[in-house]
Amino acid sequence: MARIQLGLVCGMTIALSACSGLTSVDPNAALSAGSSLYKAATLSDSDIVALSQDACKASDAESKVAAPNSAYAKRLTKVMSGFGDMTLNGQKIDYKVYTTKDINAWAMGNGCVRVYSGLMDKMNDDELRGVIGHEMGHVALGHSKKAMQAAYTVSAARTAAGASGNAVASSLSSSQLGDLTEKFINAQFSQTQESAADDYSFDLLKKKGMKREGLVTAFQKLAQIDGGQSSMLSSHPSSPSRAQHIQSRIKAEG
């Protein structure tokens, strides 16, 4: 059975596996890493971009990326065209499709957006835009930065990565980078963050003149996937209640 993560970048990522390590870091263990912990707590926006760039490359290397002339890639280009020339976190958006049955999507602070073919098989174009808008919302609202800081803390503290003074991205070994990438992609956001990303997507779709109803039906579909246990869009709040919230906004705002 395909994994279901959205809980995009634990992003609407839809193949959501549990990531308890991100929220339960042992302070004493982290302190033993010295400068690594300090780096994690003080990652600058440029650090986040650099880490995201390396993490995205690492993920691409481990995944089956759809060819540019494939039906999936062409469809995603069509879907993304609705967002126009917008940037993400000040970075040009770089979008690709991962060919996998997993149901997931996520975005990173360097503008990296990855959509899984398993999700595309379940969603129409309007629903995909809603999900992608949600994932980009986590980046725009700073949620992804916090998730990356948490992932870096766990990965770096585990092996006391790098000496102080080295560039953050280059201080991680390939195995640590892989560990960080996995933790970030599977990171779970809080209820407040998920709700904020939902509203970000709604506002973005409205601004770009796209159908906001796709967000409603996307949540409704997620509620039915995997017996209603889908974590793709996160289980808190539940997909039905998130669908109702968006429906209420559409009714109130026209």
Domain ranges of the chain: 20-253
**pLDDT computed for residue 21 by the predictor:** 40
As given in the structure block, the two tokens for residue 218 are 């996307």
Could you report the per-residue pLDDT of 34-73, keeping only the tens digit for each?
555 556 667 788 889 998 999 999 999 999 999 999 999 9
Task: Out of 62, 127, 135, 182, pick the active-site residue.
Answer: 135
**pLDDT computed for residue 28 by the predictor:** 47
**pLDDT computed for residue 82 by the predictor:** 94
For the question of residue 135 being annotated catalytic, the response is: yes
Among candidate residues 3, 29, 32, 35, the one with its CA nearest the CA of residue 16: 3
As given in the structure block, the two tokens for residue 122 are 């379940």
Query: Residue 88 forms beta bridges with which residues?
Result: 91
- Predicted model pTM: 0.80
Could you report the per-residue pLDDT of 20-31, keeping only the tens digit for each?
344 444 444 444
If one counts every other C-beta atom within 10 angstroms of the C-beta of residue 31, the result is 12
**pLDDT computed for residue 170 by the predictor:** 53
Beta carbons of 17 and 3 less than 8 angstroms apart: yes
Q: What angle do CA 228, 211, 128 make, to 5 degrees?
A: 45
Residues of the chain with pLDDT under 70: 1-41, 156-171, 226-237
